[in-house]
Chains A and B, each alone.
Chain A
Amino acid sequence: MINVERLTKVFGTKRAVDGVSFTVERGEVLGFLGPNGAGKSTTMRMITGFIPPHSGRITVGGHDVVDNPIAAKRLVGYLPENAAAYTDMTVYGFLNFCAEIRGFTGDGRKKAVHRVVEMCFLENVLHQSVETLSKGYRHRTCFAQSIIHDPEVLIMDEPTDGLDPNQKHEVRNLIRRMGEKKAIIFSTHILEEVDAVCSRAIIIDRGRVVANGTPAELRRKSELAGAVTVRVAGMAGNALSQKLYNVSGVQRCVILQENPKAATVRVFPKAAPVNGEFARAVAGALSGAQVEELHSEEGRLDEVFRNITLPDTAKEVAK
């Protein structure tokens, strides 16, 4: 549904987006991750046709966004980063206007507005002016606007920003449900959301795609992934490490905790293990010992994120 090829955007001398390519098919929810200023919003603005790309090509549902913007925009629902809405209107007036401009008339328009009001829990504020809404409600109003025409493609820039935990949960469920039939891109700084919602995630750093894969694949990039942690009673840390170094394929052992009663050691494999073979080998080497705990680590997204994207201080040095 969404096809982005070698997309580039230059602001002055700054390459905000630099050769980004990816595709999103129907039934996929793509999470957009990246540090502040990475170029997530800029990429989304180009896909929705708000800003023209410097070079590269974007098609939505087969329509080129630059050459045939109206056809492409019809397919897209967009929640901008600031979730702006006309402050001089009521929530109802605003949604009604959005429905009208999306081509709904008469009864169809009433139904469309009613549908999103229910989905986004806006009944209480329906006749309140947008200006006086709380931040979360304003966000929900803008969110409602983006799904009012039941679009095939949804682009959402930080859709859960500013929502309370219940609403965050609702919105995530909504995105996951809608993702079964639509192509969705959403950006977020909340990594749990990636696990909860995305079928695939892209990490962008300084305008480039630095990782692209399912959440599980990304997690596997973590050095923690595949490591086995064991706690054994009645052994010293060093002795336990010595014993574990004999297991084939061990890269290194780290003593995590040690006291007179028990020691906890984490064993890192040389290569990524398949089907838990490494855990079995470790367990085999410890036969006879008083094992209290043994588990494989999954890898953590935040660690992957931190390793792949340089922190701001390192960036200065890199320059």
Chain B
Amino acid sequence: MTNIKTIAKRELAAYFTSPVAYVFIVIFLLLCGFFTFFVGQFFERGQASLSAPFFDWHPWFYLFLVPAVGMRLWAEERRVGTIELLLTMPITAWQAIVGKFLASWVFLGVALALTFPIVLSVNFLGSPDNGVIFAAYVGSWLMAGAYLAISSLTSAFTRNQVVSFIVAVVTCLFLILCGFGPVIQLLEGLGKPALVDLVASFSFITHFNGFQRGVLDSRDVIFFLSVIGFSLFTTGVILRGHRAG
């Protein structure tokens, strides 16, 4: 546990000494503000709810922003060669993987928490159900974790951060699209409801919807946690594979 903490601490500090952290946070907040108030027409709706104008966009923001955060996780270690240092320390590879993941996840949590002015404004303007908003925040953070774990996985594949980024975006796009309205309609046209449900059950959007309605369904939580668990496990397998040569 202390090893995980040590590694996470170092990693988190690394984010905040590089411009990546600030660029990320600024872009994320700008996007949130722009989409909520202009595209999402927060004011025109006249509803004291954040679901449609704010949280609906999260899966799409994360699609590009999270891989940008996660792409350096292992690609950079391998390129610079510090992985040789890290993995010859008296720690397990598992501790390193989890520590690095947690640091980035906490970082994403910080960025997400900084959107609090939006919550304040909706409370100022009306009386929203803050329980629902809280559930949606939890869901959003879990979903970000799933994106991040996938980015960690693609980052372990390659020394090249750009390749890592692109593969992560494509993978996550796939996982979004299989629950995206138009795609679902397309599949429904095939007339096989079971198939539709199966495909949709893999989607980030489907599982995020529950949280947006204020429902903390254990199945949704388990879905995101298992995506995280599976991706991190595979990250370990890939790293071991690289070292075995």
Q: Of A50, A69, A76, A84, which one neighbours B80 at CB under 8 angstroms?
A: A84
Interface residue tally of chain A, by bracket?
20 to 34
A67 CB to closest chain B CB, in angstroms? 13
Residues 92-108 of A, flagged 1 when their CB comes within 8 A of B and 0 if not, give: 01000110111100000
Closest to B79 in A: A84
- Known contacts: A9-B245, A101-B6. The answer to whether A70 contacts B80 by CB under 8 A is no
Question: B117 contacts which chain A residues (CB < 8 A)?
Answer: none
Contact between B88 and A88 (Cβ–Cβ < 8 Å)?
no
B190 within 8 A of A: no
Question: B87 contacts which chain A residues (CB < 8 A)?
Answer: 49-50
Tell me the bound Cα distance from A86 to B100 in angstroms: 14
- Known contacts: A80-B84, A87-B80, A88-B18. The answer to whether A102 contacts B90 by CB under 8 A is yes
Residues 39-66 of A, flagged 1 when their CB comes within 8 A of B and 0 if not, give: 0000001001111100000000000000
Work out how many contacts link A and B, with CB atoms closer than 8 A: 70
Question: B245 contacts which chain A residues (CB < 8 A)?
Answer: 9-12, 51
Within 8 A of A (CB), among B80-128: 80-82, 84-85, 87-92
B13 within 8 A of A: yes
Within 8 A of A (CB), among B126-171: none
Q: Of B14, B84, B92, which one neighbours A84 at CB under 8 angstroms?
A: B84
Within 8 A of A (CB), among B31-86: 80-82, 84-85
B17 within 8 A of A: yes
Contact between B17 and A97 (Cβ–Cβ < 8 Å)?
no
Within 8 A of A (CB), among B180-206: none
B212 CB to closest chain A CB, in angstroms? 36
Contact between B82 and A85 (Cβ–Cβ < 8 Å)?
yes
Max chain A Cβ within 10 angstroms of own Cβ: one of B10, B17, B80, B87: B10
- Known contacts: A50-B243, A51-B245, A93-B13. The answer to whether A101 contacts B84 by CB under 8 A is no
Question: B13 contacts which chain A residues (CB < 8 A)?
Answer: 89, 93
Closest to B72 in A: A88
Contact between A86 and B84 (Cβ–Cβ < 8 Å)?
no
B23 within 8 A of A: no
B226 within 8 A of A: no
Contact between B90 and A52 (Cβ–Cβ < 8 Å)?
no
Contact between B14 and A73 (Cβ–Cβ < 8 Å)?
no
B7 within 8 A of A: yes
Contact between B89 and A73 (Cβ–Cβ < 8 Å)?
yes
Top 3 A-B residue pairs of the complex, sorted by shortest distance between their CB atoms: A84-B81, A73-B90, A48-B88
The 20 listed contacts between A and B (C-beta, < 8 Å) are A11-B245, A50-B84, A52-B240, A52-B243, A52-B244, A69-B92, A70-B91, A73-B88, A73-B90, A76-B88, A78-B85, A80-B81, A86-B14, A86-B82, A88-B14, A88-B17, A88-B18, A89-B13, A100-B6, A101-B7
Q: Taking A52-B240, A80-B84 as given, write out 14 further A-B residue pairs in contact, using a Cβ cutoff of 8 Å, ordered by the A residue number.
A: A45-B84, A48-B88, A49-B87, A50-B84, A50-B87, A70-B92, A82-B84, A84-B80, A84-B84, A88-B17, A89-B10, A101-B6, A101-B91, A142-B85
Interface residues of chain A, those whose CB is within 8 Å of chain B, are: 9-12, 45, 48-52, 69-70, 73-74, 76, 78, 80, 82, 84-89, 93, 97-98, 100-103, 142, 145
